[in-house]
Chain A
């Protein structure tokens, strides 16, 4: 059978389908989005009627997947690293209650912040929750780990984290598929109290989780994914986690690495293998994509033990993703470089598309806000965050999903009147509604602009869960219908938009302005697909 050319994310989708998954639950977020999109377009997923609709946010996704696992079926939830912060409450407690049907959390980290607000290493979450973590280095491993992850989850009774980073997520390679497994039957947990975290029960369950750690470590030590390669030169031992193994091997193409290498792809950390390396080698170099998790564990606080090198001692940069050149430098190998980038080359940052409705919103806001001092507009996560950059420079914050509404409220509480929030339709339904309720309950003097392009645009135009419901949500939360204003953001409506802003600025209370026009990219895609 010819190999299938798949992105790392797609390989996870295919592996989960073939591994007998009955449902995927996710909210889009780069670089995790295409796991779910791949499943949505898969024929077998359609035949089996595998659940594959988008969820409203990562927390609802996580919990729904847990519910499917409760019912005995295999379920997966997918998100980006910051999405796991949103789902963290469900995540931490899911480790305590455990699972019934196999449960995979696929989380995609974005070191170097190609498309994110921060870089964080989800392996810390895995360690925090004390669950098994799988970290593939190739697309084939990504497929295999998704396929086998359900079994690992069912064997240990715990959710399994499948952690990837941007490079593997968005890199394509050939995949060999395995035999398609049947789905699990609907079977409820044998212990009816398994999912009940009343303190008395939770204390018992937490001890069970702690006791399981011995088994998890043994599984890591015996895992086929954790491999110890002998070396001839014991002056150094190299621990390479996940994709960093590829960067190491790139430096020994057509040659043999002289140093012992421990490739790590399953956690908790396999102590026996690491102790062996410590005994055999004078020094240790740790390569990890993300934060120095292993290096911190192995480093000797007092500097008396085996020297450990990596991101903390400057052998590698403390932040950002790795690459073959950085690893070569850490090994003291010669690196090459082509010619320099000529000075004539200008930066080309991302920008709002020409004709995008967000531009018309910012143009109107800038005109109205010229009458006030700067620094009054809080914003959120989405394409419209580009409004912080020239030519608009309208917004002054982008922190986390939904924070525009609540930060505007807090600033208004502090006396910054007017304070304005700019949030997208999908971000609003993800995490903006509860903040709006806070504002309504205190009649905060703020304007919430829900710049509605009927789409989750930055991640590729997925359907927004608030589609067609935004006005009724705002009314339901308690915003006065007279101050819910809808307008079409077009150049020809500039005057109308300016007037609406002026009227709502004069109102002392919560106003919602909804400029609504479909995302250009989504509209174009829709037309192309029709053809």
Chain B
């Protein structure tokens, strides 16, 4: 088993919480992990990316080679497109549709969506809206992880456990909210893939 994931977003959007959750899930499933992330200057509202590799074999490189990612998981639509050179011929792109506009030359959102729709395999989900409906916009990252979960070779229960352990210190209410967010994202993908 091997899943290579490019996690993409904007500094401050919290893609690392997705990575931490997945990493915990993979480790409890006795899988090997390497996950390279972006710290430092780009965290100030710049484009950020994390390479996450999960495998039952030894993983050599911390970086995913071009054209080899099984999945691009983006919490922002324009950012989802920035890493297309990494996506394999059979890979899936899973992206949030809510744009994060912090630059003056952000393209028309519809043009971004057009590019996404050109791809053979994609899930475009309004994670922010779904998270709000569930009760907290901040759970949108867990909606995204749920939406990506059908394309990740880890048992869904393990991912749920990962969510529980990451939010453990925040109490049952927050854990439940995030689990519901995760499930809502997964349901959307299973219906739309």
Contacts and interface: CB of A to CB of B under 8 A. Distances in A.
Nearest to B170: A531
B41 A243 contact: no
A171 B35 contact: yes
Interface in A370-397: 383, 386
Contacts of B47: 347-348
B65 A246 contact: no
Contact of A336 (B41, B61, B65): B65
Contacts of B36: 167, 170-172
A189 interface: no
B42 interface: yes
A404 to B, nearest CB: 18
Interface residues of A, number: 53
B37 A339 contact: no
A338 B85 contact: yes
Contacts, number: 165
A246 B102 contact: no
B177 interface: no
Determine which residue in B27, B35, B39 has the highest number of CB atoms from chain A within 10 A of its CB, and name it.
B39
Contact of B34 (A173, A324, A458): A173
B88 interface: yes
A5 interface: yes
Nearest to A169: B39
A3 B31 CA distance: 10
Nearest to B88: A338
Given A167-B36, A171-B62, A348-B10, A338 B46 contact: no
Nearest to B108: A344
B146 interface: no
Contact of A335 (B66, B81, B105): B66
B67 to A, nearest CB: 3
Nearest to B118: A342
Interface in B12-71: 19, 23-24, 27-28, 32-47, 51, 57, 59-69
Given A31-B39, A345-B81, A346-B106, A174 B44 contact: no
B107 A340 contact: no
A170 B57 CA distance: 21
B132 interface: no
A387 to B, nearest CB: 12
A309 B160 CA distance: 49
A459 interface: yes
Contacts of A351: 44-46, 102-103
Interface in B81-136: 81-82, 84-89, 91, 102-103, 105-107, 111-112, 115, 119
B40 A336 contact: no
Given A2-B28, A351-B103, A459-B40, 5 more contacts: A115-B39, A250-B60, A347-B47, A350-B44, A386-B44
Interface of A: 2-3, 5, 7, 30-31, 33-34, 114-115, 167-168, 170-174, 243, 246-250, 253-254, 323-325, 328, 335-342, 344-354, 383, 386, 458-460
11 contacts: A3-B27, A5-B23, A171-B51, A172-B23, A172-B35, A173-B62, A253-B57, A335-B67, A338-B69, A345-B81, A458-B44
